[in-house]
Amino acid sequence: MALKSFKLATAVASAVAGAALLLSATPASAANPPYDGCPAWALCLYQHGGGTGSKAIVIPPSAGGGTEIVRLTKVHFLNGDLADNQVSSWINNSQCQIEFWDDPYGELHPSQVDVASSWAWGAKGDYASGGYPNDRISSLRFYCP
């Protein structure tokens, strides 16, 4: 009989402890920190300001790869949205210089919106908080020494 009472007490204690852990756990949908998850040697574009929202990861040419143009009409954020005219912030973890362009096809007035220097890992741009027009980037030009 004592063994049965001990098993019952152990089961109750385990259930109470499990319930306490379950109720005190943080929600699984907690937001990622700003500029989170950008791999080394990549450029990450974010849909919202401050490195938040869905991101698109763009891998530049390798070192010594020269110049490459990437049109954002062919790049999607991880949530499936097209990146063209939707970029609000970015972080450059590559060795490349990157020019950010509006109107890549020259239909109206092509203009350079921003530039990230080469060998400046962690350089960031944020268009949601003044300084640059938000959501105008349509293409990238990589210069990779």
Type of residue at 74:
K
* Domain residue extents for the chain: 43-144
What's the CATH number for 43-144?
A: 2.60.20.10
Span 111-138, pLDDT tens digits: 888 899 999 899 999 887 766 566 788 9
Q: Six-digit token pair at 88?
A: 């609000």
Q: What is the pLDDT of residues 18-55, one digit of tens each?
A: 444 333 333 344 467 899 999 988 999 999 999 999 99
Q: Which residues are within 8 A (CB) of 53 and not within 5 positions of it... i.e. 6 or more apart?
A: 46, 47, 77, 88
70 has a pLDDT exceeding 80:
yes
Report pTM.
0.73
Q: Return d(Cα 22, Cα 137) in angstroms, integer.
A: 44
